[in-house]
Structure 1
Amino acid sequence: MVKFVFPRGLRLLTPAHFAFVFQRPQRTGTSQITILGRLNSMGHPRIGFTVAKRHVKRAHERNRIKRLTRESFRLHQHELPAMDFVVIVKKGITNIDNRNLKEALEKLWRRHCRLAQDS
């Protein structure tokens, strides 16, 4: 039975984890959101966020974006390759409603799956 949990082990926590992804990432993105990914040796995917205050002014909007992204990752974690992902939010993300954000994230997760298979 597949469990859809989001424990601490699925998060990028330290600056070293983020630096690892930023060294040589595979990029996929839209005009409002970019996901960087790099294969890891852990056997499962992990995720980290960068939601800058200069792009998303209000805390409740930053929290909404992170909550929806975490939920999307949690539901797709068993389909994703063993990669470390960093989600970078750009200007204009606050204009997207929840449904469109979920669809954009699903599209980006599929692209990362394809990129991982090709490499």
Structure 2
Amino acid sequence: MTPPATFRPHERINDPKDFRRAFERKRSASDAAMVVYGAENGLGYPRLGISVGRKKIRSAAARNRVKRLLREAFRLGKEELPAGIDLIIVPRGARLTFQEARASLPALAQAVARRLGARTSKAPT
């Protein structure tokens, strides 16, 4: 039996330097739902950062809902994500659905990993 998927504290990006590093690396992939920026992290697992601007999503409740959806999509899709990269997600709007996030995140993460030249092995569970 596989262990339940969790979103552990070490998988979260909190340091502004890590966000800046991913944005300055200028490796990204996007679709209609979101933009994903990436940078190598030298670790054996992916990490997640979410950047939701007030100009795009005005309501705090809507911003928090979008962040919850993205964290859940990351948690459930970790095994499909490439290991060793930091992913910064910028949603394009408040109408993001869980199905869109769940479908977009692995594909965009793989595209970012290809652009970084990182190995695209699956993250360990």
Q: What is the aligned residue count?
A: 116
> TM-score, normalization: structure 2?
0.77
Alignment partner of 2:55: what SS?
Answer: coil
For the pair 1:4 / 2:15, whether they are aligned, the reply is no
Give the partner amino acid of 2:13.
L
In the superposition, relative to structure 1, how do residues 75 and 53 fare at CA in structure 2: closer, same or farther (>3 Å)? same
1:102 CA displacement: 3.1
Q: Which residue of 1 aligns with 2:48?
A: 47
Alignment partner of 1:77: what SS?
Answer: helix
In the superposition, relative to structure 1, how do residues 73 and 48 fare at CA in structure 2: closer, same or farther (>3 Å)? same
For 1:32 and 1:73, locate their aligned partners in 2 and report how far apart those are by CA, in whole Å: 15
1:88 CA displacement: 1.0
1:77 CA displacement: 1.6
Q: Which structure 2 residues correspond to residues 5-44 of structure 1 after superposition, within 5 A?
A: 5-44=6-45
Q: Percent identity?
A: 28
> TM-score, normalization: structure 1?
0.80
1:39 CA displacement: 1.8
After superposing the two structures, state which structure 1 stretch, 108-117 or 15-24, moved more: 108-117
RMSD: 2.2
Q: Which structure 2 residues correspond to residues 86-97 of structure 1 after superposition, within 5 A?
A: 86-90=88-92, 93-97=93-97
Confirm or deny: 8 A CA contact 2:81 2:106 kept in the other structure.
no
After superposing the two structures, state which structure 1 stretch, 49-58 or 1-10, moved more: 1-10
For 1:2 and 1:8, locate their aligned partners in 2 and report how far apart those are by CA, in whole Å: 17
Q: Which residue of 1 aligns with 2:123?
A: none
Question: What runs of 5+ residues in structure 2 fail to find an aligned partner?
Answer: 121-125
What is the CA deviation profile of residues 54-109 of structure 1, one whole-angstrom value per residue up to 9, with x for unaligned ones? 1001112111111111011111223322100100123xx22344333433334324
